[in-house]
Structure 1
Amino acid sequence: MRASTGWAADGMLALRVEAKSRSRRMGPLLLYFYVEGLMSQRQTSLHFTSYIISPKDESALLRFFTPRHSSYVNVPRLLRPMVLNGEAKPRGRARPKPPKQTKEEMLFEFRTLLECGHREMIYRYATNLIYKPSFRDVDCLPAMDSDEFLDTCNKSVPVYVLKGCQYGTVICTVLHNYIYRRWFRPFRSEIEHYRFLCKFMTPLHLPDGPTSLSQSNIDGIVSINGAVCAEVEARHRDYDQQLASAGQDEATWRLIRREVKNHNRFNVLQPLFRALLVIVSADNYHNEDSTTAGRIPVLLVRTGVEDGLSAPVTFEAIVGKPDSHVDESSNIARTTLETAIDFVMDLEAREAVAFGLQPDPVISWDPIFYSFDNWEKRWGIPLAGPSSRFVDTDKHPVWSGLGQHLDSNAMVIHEQRNLRFEARRLRGELY
């Protein structure tokens, strides 16, 4: 893997990266996070082409490529001139030093970096790296790797996407963009420790086919959800044993992911995750984009496991809603994605009022874990979190920064590209 940087003729900063991937070309501002994940997957090679960002984002982008990431990418610390847009800058020209940032500017940068990383990470595990538990393994699921374990913790509910062999990632991309934008509050959402409203999964080998919403398939998905929860608990016990037995043995410690090693107690399987699940079938998807995805029909299913909840889950709030049908006797509600997400967020808020957010955002905050230790070096005091307190929304009433740029550019590009690909498939242009 190689990377180089330089100044373009129009005063913009350019970055070119050659990475290893089986994927197609990725969009702007996804490179670092995607590269890190791909290296861990040991996938095959593809060349990422260059892209341009504005000078004001330079320091934020370069923060991605520091010595602590040397195991993933070899990037020169100093900018070297390169030919861009047909012109080359003189080699003798020094890179101007960026002005020193104020505390408010540093906090804004830190928060927007976290927003960007969180969005890309959640998107990746909802699409290309979606978890696929099989009904055949329901009695003993294969052990989750650390990434799958971390992506399951601190999620309120599972979303099971029955996409079969069609649609590829388009339905998951649309669902992700719609749900994320409904859930996310700029500068204010708690996003540390993989926290999000839901985890996407695609169940395999269901009794009545990959997309059917038959009672047999629904029962099978409930069984799969129980197996997933049991596997998360098994991973917790396994990681605790590894931590207890590691002692001072460096070789053992290196085998344990940093997120698990430092924060296993902050990776929480939420009680609501056991109690309620959402099912979306590709049979009910008719090429909606993320602006119209709220009308997609979905199922809400109660599992009957309500340990740890402040109150039982009932569908009373859905009764009488348009396009909704509640069957209390079978623990199933048929409704739209919009109504389902509202229902889940209301339950999430109810549990937070009763018990507080788990894990607690203040207690679980660790600036060293997020590599923000330069704050203490600069100001002489630890960086107090969580990041939802970093930005003064009175001074920044409009969402901006790297997270906003990712949402309004790369995520839109990915969705449009997937929709065009699916349209070509439906027209018979792909074989």
Structure 2
Amino acid sequence: MKTQMILCLYALLCLSAKAQHNEVYSSKIQSLQVKVNDNWLAPPVISLNSDDIVEISFDELSHEYHRFQYVISHCNADWTPSDLNEIDYLEGFNNSPIEDYKNSLNTTMLYTHYRLSLPNEQVKLKVSGNYVVTIFDDDDSSKPICKAYFSVVEKKVAIAASVSSNTDIDTNKSHQQVSFKVNYNGYTIRNPQNEVKIKVMQNLREDNCVTNVQPSYVSPTELRYEYNRDLIFEAGNEYRRFEMVSIRHAARGIQTIRYFAPYYHTILFPDEVRNRNYSFDKDQNGRYYVRYDLGNNNDIDADYMFVHFSFPWKGLLPDGDLYLQGSFTNDNFTDNYRLTYNPETQSFESTQLLKQGAYNYQYLFVPTKSNKATGALTEGNFYETENEYLILIYHRPFGERYDKLIGVQPVYYK
């Protein structure tokens, strides 16, 4: 009965699922990450019937054991629940406990690191598409603590893609345009306009991704998505960076590290508006990597610190709010990542609890009217920016009950 209640609750939660970004519902849960084959730079996509492993990990801020249960659900291209039954997409047991956990060692903030690998001995994935893993605390199964998202691809098509600064809006200025061709020779797509769905992401961001664009050209073996204004993105700027890998000295981007018992505080250098000039840097397109320079096992040796962000701003801000954005925010423009203006320092400020490591971030403005995040005011848009794009091709043949993921292709502007 308890398992049925968890599954029913999960189905209700999924009805509102529209995005791929991970979600955390408890302040006790930190550093939720999804990695493929232990590669922190890889997108959260594994191949069907392969040796690929997706690893979901997070920290619970205590040394008390929690019996966390996970439930796997299959979703359509838009992350709404598919019509598949559990037996159609899973082989094995759903609603199983997470049994891989370790307590932190010699850290000022106590935490327990939990890790789940899929597929595993208890469960296998049988079909391609989108998957959501919802995690519950067995002591309170009325609500989840977090959700993690990933995809499974069965490669049926070939994708040839490019990114250009010569766009239908401007040339070598502030935008980049993605173009690509999908070769499906040897694979049957009877009605491409109705059966195929696409998704294009910039730096794995969910808030500005492009979906459901129609092809500009269709042939019996090829789809082309070229000269399409919907595939034009603001170019942005390179991500800002800081490295919080030591407690002994301040590394890149850090003004000072202070210990106010019982925790460490990291004060970053005040950031500047960058909308006038392109700022070249070798960033990681928004990602972060957990690391402690004296640790043997970063997962449990790295400590947590309160990180203080400061963004000086004089004058009025248009109607809207400033937010921090990077993979550590999970693209969630919530109050937790909204900056607050401090009139004494004439700065927008935010304090975040983060695990030691190397971080990418940027400041985005979300206008009240459009509710669409932009870096035009704070970071600027420059065609030189080395962005990463990810193209996903979904297919639902007539009569099928779910969206297959039949092709994935990263493409870079360098």
Range of TM-score over shorter length: under 0.3
**TM-score, structure 1 normalization:** 0.24
Q: Identify the structure with the greater helix proportion.
A: 1
Q: Identify the structure with the greater strand proportion.
A: 2
**TM-score, structure 2 normalization:** 0.24
